[in-house]
Structure 1
């Protein structure tokens, strides 16, 4: 009989198990294996079925099993112990920020905006590396006890579930999340759910607010799927990176502008705003609007306060990763904003364009750069690339002075560390090893771990990975209707005793997942060597609109089915954090071969060393900094101007050569017949050099001390007395802009007897005559800019201010003079320049005005 009504029955949690309810609603459990173990033990089969979701375990566990556990002394002891650790963590008095707070300029929270957050596979509001980085950033902020708040969107359909069909082609399957099955809670005010309204064209979009506890940190999530909205508005937050440009701009308005409105509704005033990638850059516009209204400021005066307290992190040099919208779309969505803010649309539009050779579209990255005084890339190399990439935003400013710094990414070690290695560290490094995560000297102790223990622990994890890979591949092939004979072959795929290399990431074409297959004959020999074979495990998703990436996946799948290759190559579909943990913890070697320099940082390879893994990577992103010639291997040369075809050729040849001549022989050389001692030395070197440096505790500490506290200090200068300093700075900038074109450098004289024979260390006098027009000379700096030179540029320049010595003369020029001292031999170049200067400038070049001698 068809039921008249269906409903869900949830078990009653016995009183003795009540601590589980508190643990489940704080995703501290996502980086504490003992906590996850408590939920897994309720029903291991159900645990895997619900994708390791603690909250679903409590919703679906049998009542009898919960009663049984409530009477199990061993389980209750572990529950009590874990709960005490949880409470101790939350209440710990000696955290980094508690010890620093008295001397920190931070008096309010840091608001961290990101389009995605990857905390755990059971919370699918992330797509890949950016989200995982955001999640790890939050976890480290919690560990450090920073006053930190995250903001994102709550996606009804998450990203997408990947399925590989019988042709090897990626298919996207939509998720449909029930938010009551996630560890989120409605935000309420006076007992009612909080609904904010975000203006969008000629309507207001209703946005519901949820929250998630991440240790000591709160993440707020914005959701437009509410009955008050029409269908099209309910769909805005349906899917991460879904839809078209229209969907994207709407999502980014909700994220940025909605996030600021949410804080106002909650009566929270963040002191610093951190935009993680340009998706949230519209927050600057909402902050400016609110500052104008609350303090009766002009647009540009309000901008000074907002920009001083904004931090922006750019994550990609790939153009597709930097959102941009057409003039018509921006006018459609922001004409009303411009009218309300007293700024013309043309002036507004320049905030999303370069100063030199602007593209027609409005760039979210440029908006973030123009409305932030603190910006960074995510590795030292990416900082350099970003300064060159966005140099046209700062007309005439040398790339070395473009105000984009760098903070190299890290990973949250506890999240990605195998519990088996955690126990090993506790035994041989000490119970307090977690308190020394950034202590490089401390990590030298890994040599105290006996080689046989290190090796046996790693081999155990690799064995588990092989079993896991076979199980996942078997399920995939069974779903595609493969024959029993084909399914039986899966049991012979991979081998626990073979050198195992992993490759898992987003299948963007620049990451070159198929570089390995460029020489099939050499690959065949590597895989099938009778004494020293190699095997590979792949995983990763391509964006649903990226057919090039899907074709790469299809090529990998083809090799997993080809005779002579199929037993040594596996592809695990639907890559997520769980698959990632299995791979990071189980493979011997991690392969990373992007087209340099398009890998901004990369973090997957950072997750290997704490688990005994080693990196084999192109010298791109973080590996440029970490590689010391003893802790892994570098593919190819540091090519800076080779075309992609040339790079592919060089890197493929290097990859095969390294594997054949160095890596494979080292792995299989066992002097005592049991242990590859030289390989274990590389494991130890990798562990002790990478682990203490490439972690989010170091990374977030660096953000706090170099960016958050500086932003808070800058904000404190502009906010007193109804933002009087901001208004004065804006007026000064307007005057400088209005008159700057009157500045010219009429003459430069360099006092050298023979330009071809200037002795090292001898002072050289430089004199310049400068015409200022209506610009006050006290508001500029006249500087000699000199250094070693090639045919086109001054390299590694030195800047020497010149002093006013005469004038004005009959033409109105002032004379400036100073001395430079060449520090080395070689060809030197020299120019003179004029730049505006004020004690209230947070960035040296924030006015984007500079005049050079010709």
Structure 2
């Protein structure tokens, strides 16, 4: 088994519809991530859970209500061979996790994908009680006891499994906060070797990275403190710390927040699009209000999709003919895709028509009444209310006119599941079924049952337009539109998630998603924009036929979409970004913190403890702003002079700066230099203004003191700041 490399933990993995242990975007992304790592020969080990009953099978009853069925996953039917992990003597590897004081045992299945192995834990073990055998039956149970048990199995059990396999990762990647208890287990392991809690925490943090996908507070797992005590109380002393110190890693608003734990135990945090990075900084700003949003240490790596999984066979053959021979392993090279512009319009349109025909046939859609090629718009994703499946139905009469034009027919196809506990989500499905039965929408609005990867592939390959209408900025990234784009399907989407980066004005259509007028006003404006786009641009362009009855301008737009989006929004580019920007630095940092018997980790742990214990003594006593002041720092510039009391903290362990608004939603910073020591711990700092009009910053400027260290992963690692 490989040492080093990356351990990638996720609560779900979508490799293929034949292994239905995923519920939606997070799992599909995780599956695409590890496939791309395998393609690129990146040393990575996946860790997840084998859900015996998978995600539910959806049936829609006569009244339009979603029904859930939970058949056992058929391992024999899996496209990817699933095998039991065994030790050198051929015995199944069994790990034990103490959950709420009782031992729970888990075995592991594994799937091999080239250089990558995915391990999946299961509690369906004879030594367990009947209820414990069922702990890993279903994804995302609504019951909090089952949920925390699964998360302990994933994080703690996953770390123990890797130890049992002899795998020692350089980097531990938490894909969402579900696996964050792995930090507890790694600290416990080090504590058992005699490493102190603060040192162990720094060593763990140095080699751990965290990707958050959830832009709303409600999307983060939260457990009561009483529940953490009940389930993990035995853990506190084993980690070498008292209860309060351990709980402080995840405590937020009187409860224990798994995202907070993940942030506290990671050296790098990233969102999944540029906009989501901004939204996450705003979200985390509530935890650390004394740090400006712009300074919250959150990076972003925009999601991509695995081209080999989502590309239609016909399109692949077309690319094989017209692109360089090794294009499939060079997908992130922009120049390679320029050749798509040279593909004859007739060939591209022919392949698209073929994919469309296959979709209609395989999904059993009764579209023959509309002739060969009605414009088909697809909307397929999880049915959550913020995704606004009903936005296109805001004005039923207007929509009926658009869909019902005999010369230019338009059809809508919907697909998706609602979480079993999400009644508003289920009601969206019921309402679409109800509308599809109205005479004016009959045959023009369809809903596809039991949405999964197999049906998703047909839809992203076969529709003409991919519709996405979330409430901005609640879509962290979204990847279904990227799958559509690489197949030549055009996006019409709210400028949220990845689309705000990808849209260039020529490769699809954009709905602004303005956010300043309240939700009703946003819905009104977005639906008006959508109808206008359909009436004035999308439908006319699709039906504008040139030579040989081909919509030449539409096909040119398809080419623009493929050329501009595919090289950027694919997982080869995404995983390369993770490797260069996140995995390699975390590998180096982790090794440095562990070296020489944890010398750096020990020093940083002690330093942070000293800073925390003495930070209350830091005060900004007096700030002066002097115009045209000739100081030892700069001649004839506006200067800042501040008296700072640092107490026992050394002056070289802090940064002092003036901070203010730049008037454009950004901030400026001007470093202040130490110019005089007045007495023990009391200093004078001076600095000059930035090159910004004085009336912009003068009304909104302050002086800030922050602790610094060359060993910190970022300037605000301690989340401390004192202001004047």
Tell me if TM exceeds 0.5: yes
* Alpha-carbon distance change, 602 to 297 in structure 1, aligned in 2, over 3 angstroms: same
Would you say the 8 A contact 1:140–1:696 is kept in 2? Answer: yes
State the partner residue of 2:62: 166
- What are the within-5 Å matches in structure 2 for residues 511-526 of structure 1? 511-526=387-402
State the partner residue of 1:386: 280
Q: Report the Cα offset of residue 621 of structure 1.
A: 0.2
Aligned mates of 2:616, 2:114 — CA distance in 1:
54
- Find the partner of 1:341 among 214, 223, 239: 239
Q: Which deviations, in whole Å up to 9, do the C-alpha atoms of 1:197-253 show, x marking residues without a partner?
A: 112122211110111012321001101001010111111101111250100000000
State the partner residue of 1:450: 344
Secondary structure of 2:652's match?
A: helix
Q: Report the Cα offset of residue 569 of structure 1.
A: 1.2
Secondary structure of 1:275's match?
A: strand
Q: Report the Cα offset of residue 812 of structure 1.
A: 5.1
Structure 2 residue 6 is matched with structure 1 residue 110: yes
State the partner residue of 2:132: 233
State the partner residue of 1:509: 385
Q: Report the Cα offset of residue 750 of structure 1.
A: 1.7
Calculate the aligned-residue CA RMSD, in Å.
1.8
Structure 2 residue 639 is matched with structure 1 residue 765: yes
Instruction: Select the structure of larger CA radius of gyration.
Output: 1
Structure 2 residue 709 is matched with structure 1 residue 844: no
Aligned mates of 2:101, 2:443 — CA distance in 1:
60
TM-score (norm 2): 0.96
Q: Report the Cα offset of residue 813 of structure 1.
A: 2.0
Aligned mates of 1:325, 1:748 — CA distance in 2:
43
- Find the partner of 1:176 among 32, 55, 72: 72
- What are the within-5 Å matches in structure 2 for residues 363-402 of structure 1? 363-402=257-296
Q: Report the Cα offset of residue 800 of structure 1.
A: 2.6
Aligned mates of 1:139, 1:604 — CA distance in 2:
17
Aligned mates of 1:825, 1:423 — CA distance in 2:
61
Aligned mates of 1:467, 1:704 — CA distance in 2:
41
Q: Which deviations, in whole Å up to 9, do the C-alpha atoms of 1:278-334 show, x marking residues without a partner?
A: 00000011011111222x222121000101111100001133321110111111012
- Find the partner of 1:145 among 41, 57, 68: 41
State the partner residue of 2:331: 437
Secondary structure of 1:821's match?
A: coil
Would you say the 8 A contact 1:447–1:684 is kept in 2? Answer: yes
Secondary structure of 1:351's match?
A: coil
Aligned mates of 1:842, 1:243 — CA distance in 2:
36
* Alpha-carbon distance change, 494 to 251 in structure 1, aligned in 2, over 3 angstroms: farther
Structure 2 residue 673 is matched with structure 1 residue 803: yes
Show structure 2 runs of 5+ residues with no match. 630-634
Q: Which deviations, in whole Å up to 9, do the C-alpha atoms of 1:468-488 show, x marking residues without a partner?
A: 2326xxxxxxxxxxxxxxxxx
Would you say the 8 A contact 1:493–1:568 is kept in 2? Answer: no
Q: Report the Cα offset of residue 561 of structure 1.
A: 1.5
Secondary structure of 1:470's match?
A: coil
Aligned mates of 1:184, 1:272 — CA distance in 2:
25
State the partner residue of 2:420: 544
Would you say the 8 A contact 1:412–1:697 is kept in 2? Answer: yes
State the partner residue of 1:463: 357
Structure 2 residue 221 is matched with structure 1 residue 323: yes
Q: Report the Cα offset of residue 826 of structure 1.
A: 5.3
Aligned mates of 1:290, 1:724 — CA distance in 2:
18
Stretches (4+) displaced over 6 A: none
- What are the within-5 Å matches in structure 2 for residues 221-620 of structure 1? 221-294=120-193, 296-353=194-251, 358-470=252-364, 490=366, 492=368, 496-620=372-496
State the partner residue of 1:645: 520
Would you say the 8 A contact 1:394–1:845 is kept in 2? Answer: no
* Alpha-carbon distance change, 699 to 762 in structure 1, aligned in 2, over 3 angstroms: farther
Q: Which deviations, in whole Å up to 9, do the C-alpha atoms of 1:509-561 show, x marking residues without a partner?
A: 10010111111101111111121121111100000011101110011111222
- Find the partner of 1:123 among 19, 25, 37: 19
- What are the within-5 Å matches in structure 2 for residues 39-54 of structure 1? none
State the partner residue of 1:777: 651
Q: Report the Cα offset of residue 491 of structure 1.
A: 6.6
Q: Report the Cα offset of residue 747 of structure 1.
A: 1.1
Would you say the 8 A contact 2:191–2:238 is kept in 1? Answer: no
Aligned mates of 1:586, 1:491 — CA distance in 2:
13
Would you say the 8 A contact 1:762–1:821 is kept in 2? Answer: no
- Find the partner of 2:623 among 728, 745, 748: 748
Secondary structure of 1:807's match?
A: strand
- Find the partner of 1:677 among 527, 537, 552: 552
How many residues are aligned here? 713
State the partner residue of 1:757: none
Aligned mates of 1:430, 1:441 — CA distance in 2:
10
